[in-house]
């Protein structure tokens, strides 16, 4: 039986929600396991046929823990059918929402030296009411500069769920 693992690197939970949506579109949900990046560091990856990693951006970067994880498991990831996707709000812009045009994906692939078989990028969420004082006003400033929404009393979800579903469909093909 083909067993898949989805690993999420998420601060506010939106990347995990995207991972859960992907699992829901699998015909065999019981064969897909989901773990946080911290949990994934403690298990043996060899039992999985497919490994999918989803990670969000914070202040221009994927987490250091993500890079460490990839470095520590590079051989295994290269042997498996492995995929990667990034979640960030720059990807809400049509000219930055593909693996070829999103700056964070390009930087990630260059630094990690990992070549996932499948790469995706999804626009995330700006969740002003749940941010602390500092984050709220920095994100508001970034949104103002990049012509995004600045009403801090609201949440703004930019995720194109049909794009997530299409990515997932391809993931589960041949599983």
Ligand X SMILES: Cc1cc2nc3c(=O)[nH]c(=O)nc-3n(C[C@H](O)[C@H](O)[C@H](O)COP(=O)(O)O)c2cc1C
Footprint of ligand X on this chain (CB under 6 A)? 10-15, 56-60, 87-90, 124-126, 131, 135, 139
Residue 164 CB, nearest approach to ligand X (Å): 12
Decide: residue 27, CB within 10 A, 0-12 exposed, 13-18 middle, 19+ buried: exposed
Q: Which is nearer to ligand X, 5 or 55 (CB)?
A: 55
Residue 125 CB, nearest approach to ligand X (Å): 4
Residue 141 CB, nearest approach to ligand X (Å): 11
H or E element, residue 16: helix 14-24
Cα(22)–Cα(14) distance, rounded to whole angstroms?
A: 13
Q: Which is nearer to ligand X, 74 or 106 (CB)?
A: 106
Q: Which is nearer to ligand X, 81 or 87 (CB)?
A: 87
Q: Which is nearer to ligand X, 30 or 110 (CB)?
A: 110
Q: Which is nearer to ligand X, 13 or 99 (CB)?
A: 13
Indicate the residue whose CB is closest to ligand X.
124
H or E element, residue 22: helix 14-24
Contacts of 52 (CB under 8 A, 6+ apart): 4, 5, 6, 7, 19, 22, 82, 83, 84, 85, 171
Cα(126)–Cα(143) distance, rounded to whole angstroms?
A: 9
The CB-side HSE value for 49 (13 A sphere, CA atoms) comes to 11
Residue 62 CB, nearest approach to ligand X (Å): 10
Cα(82)–Cα(80) distance, rounded to whole angstroms?
A: 5
Residue 124 CB, nearest approach to ligand X (Å): 2
């Amino acid at each position: 039986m083909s067993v898949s693992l989805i690993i999420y690197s998420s601060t506010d939970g939106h990347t995990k929600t995207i991972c859960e949506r992907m699992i829901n579109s699998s015909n065999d949900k019981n064969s897909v396991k989901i773990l946080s990046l911290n949990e994934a560091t403690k298990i043996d990856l060899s039992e999985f046929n497919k490994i999918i990693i989803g990670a969000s951006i914070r202040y221009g970067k994927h987490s250091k823990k993500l890079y460490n994880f990839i470095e520590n498991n590079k051989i295994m990831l290269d042997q498996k059918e492995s995929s990667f996707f990034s979640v960030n709000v720059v990807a809400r812009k049509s000219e930055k929402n593909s693996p070829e045009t999103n700056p964070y994906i390009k930087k990630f692939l260059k630094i990690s030296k990992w070549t996932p078989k499948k790469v995706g990028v999804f626009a995330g969420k700006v969740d002003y009411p749940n941010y602390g004082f500092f984050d709220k006003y920095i994100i508001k400033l970034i949104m103002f500069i990049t012509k995004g929404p600045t009403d801090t009393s609201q949440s703004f979800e930019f995720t194109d769920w049909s794009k997530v579903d299409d990515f997932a469909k391809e993931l589960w093909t041949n599983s």
